[in-house]
Amino acid sequence: MSVLKERNTATRRSPNGTTFSNNVGKQQSSSIGKRRMPTRSFSRVKKMGWHTYVVDLFVVMFLFGIASLYMFALDEDIEGSNQADASSRMYTSLTNGTDKDNDNDNGMGASIIATTKKYFENSIEDAPSCRPLDEHEVTFSLAIALSSDNDLSMISHHCKRWGISAPISIAVWTNLSPTGVMEKMQSFKYNACQPEQMTITTLSPFDEQKLPTDNNPPINQLRNLAMQGIQTTHVISLDVGMWESGDLYETLNTPLVIRSLAQDPKLAIVIPAFEVNIQSYSSRKECMRNIPSSFDGLIIQLGEKRVSPKDPLHFSRHGSTQYRSWVKQAYGELIDIDCVSSDGYEPFIAVRYCEGLPPFQEVFGASNLISTWITHVLRLGYSLKQVGGAFVVDLPTSTNANDKEDSSDKIDTYLRKTNGKDIRSDVFQWLDTNIPDHRRVQNCDDFDEVSGDETAYQ
């Protein structure tokens, strides 16, 4: 009651005798040190503030719950969509006879089931379009086919020479997964390959836990899979025993080469090939230690006859490469190869990987017929230029010359059908019937059509 009376009083005297105004609606003064008693209106405001806080908190929690439900539903839709896409890709790959998405192996690569194609083909499956390129877009990868995981130790030498940041795609005939292949490579003492530079595809027979020793790997399918694994515009398809010079990657990235490749999607850069004279060394390890990596080192070994142009006894295979001119070429310089002297020509080339590039014909199975691929490439209108400075060197599989001849006899049996007919004639007949001839590289005046016996050595 005293509080109510005090609020209705116009003036009030303080204990020390000071008089002050007590008008309703105006701020009141009070003596210092005295605690002001809370009024009913102040308690009402406080309660209203608390109620507002509770309501706001409830609204925030409610909205948060709705947002959470929405995000959960969205994630379910995305996951379902991804699963549907994966299922679609899986179905497509299975209907094509391969299972590229069966084992993504944490992004390392894919495991493929070997299939045998029965017909010749004119394009690589799923190759990107041959759109125009700017010079800064031109990039290079190695594509290497391995007929056994026993050859994986050789990949480390490619990584050292090609470069630890330069991409390499390999296809391996093995029952290991791509991750298993990478782990095996990393287990080697002198491994130089980095996982981020590698794309790995494994190829194995269907439903077999162990590869039979007499099962011949489909080398051309492995080559195509290695090319399909690249993420660059251009590719060099190499056999695992062909060692590139230490400056090949830098040579291909010189301005003239880059500009030429960007301007012409059907330009193939020939990389001159050499081989080690196996008679000059007592062991395979000694050969490996002496494989030249630089132009100067190669020239010295050529003079000492420890190295020679590849297959000097079989001119048809590399004789169209202008070795005498190459010795005088400047680093990165390009010169035209105007004609080929044989339909057995099989150079190693850097070429645009896109829908216009023909595949290695898988119908040949275990037959190693690079020359038919080059013939197909040339028929489609590709031109040839050899590059100065860079090269590749063949590391022989044996230091015994007789072993090499025995191996050629075994390959000869794969190249011939039961009626003794050279199977190369089949692809030539198919090309004449189905592929218009747009050659820019013509046959030389001394052109010689290679016989089946000589090509069988391949």
Name the residue among 205, 241, 230, 249 with its Cα closest to residue 115: 205
Cα(450)–Cα(458) distance, rounded to whole angstroms?
12
Q: Which two tokens stand for residue 451?
A: 């016989």
Query: What are the backbone angles phi and psi of residue 129, rounded to the nearest 5°?
Result: -70, 155
Instruction: Provide the residue-wise pLDDT of the chain in tens; the chain has 458 residues.
Output: 444 334 344 444 444 444 444 444 444 434 344 444 444 444 554 455 556 656 666 666 766 666 666 555 545 444 444 433 333 332 223 223 334 444 455 556 788 777 777 789 998 988 999 999 999 999 999 999 999 999 999 999 999 999 988 999 999 999 999 999 999 999 998 899 999 999 999 998 764 444 444 468 899 999 999 999 999 999 999 999 999 999 999 999 999 999 999 999 999 999 999 999 988 888 888 888 899 999 999 999 999 999 999 988 888 899 999 999 999 999 999 999 999 999 999 999 999 999 999 999 988 877 768 899 999 999 999 999 999 999 999 987 654 444 444 444 433 443 444 344 567 888 899 999 999 999 999 999 988 776 444 433 33
CB proximity list for 79: less than 8 A, separation 6 or greater: none
* Separation CA 215–CA 366 (nearest Å): 10
pLDDT of residue 390: 97
**CA–CA distances in Å: residue 217 to residues 122, 169, 238:** 22, 18, 16
Q: How many CB atoms lie within 10 A of CB 158?
A: 21
d(CA 174, CA 203): 6
User: What is the rounded distance in angstroms from the CA atom of residue 399 to the CA atom of residue 387?
Assistant: 30
Residue pair 5/22 in contact by the 8 Å Cβ criterion: no
Distance separating alpha carbons of residues 65 and 286, to the nearest angstrom: 71
CA distance 425 to 433: 12
- pLDDT the model gives residue 315: 83
Give the number of other CB atoms < 10 A from CB of residue 141: 25
- In this prediction, residue 363 carries a pLDDT of 86
What are the φ/ψ torsions at residue 288 (nearest 5 degrees)?
-65, -40
Q: What is the pLDDT of residue 247?
A: 96
* pLDDT for the residue 77: 47
Helix (H, G, I), strand (E, B) or coil at 393: strand
Torsion angles phi and psi, residue 378, rounded to 5: -65, -35
Round to whole Å and give the CA distance between 343 and 235: 23
User: What pLDDT is attached to residue 96?
Assistant: 33
Distance CA 49, CA 16 (A): 37
Cα–Cα distance, 361 to 365 (Å, whole number): 8
Rounded-to-integer distance, Cα 385 and Cα 167, Å:
23
Helices (H) and strands (E) in the chain, counts: 15, 17
pLDDT at res. 421: 54
Contact 130, 234 (CB under 8 A): no
Quote the CA–CA distance of 66 and 12 in Å, as a whole number: 58
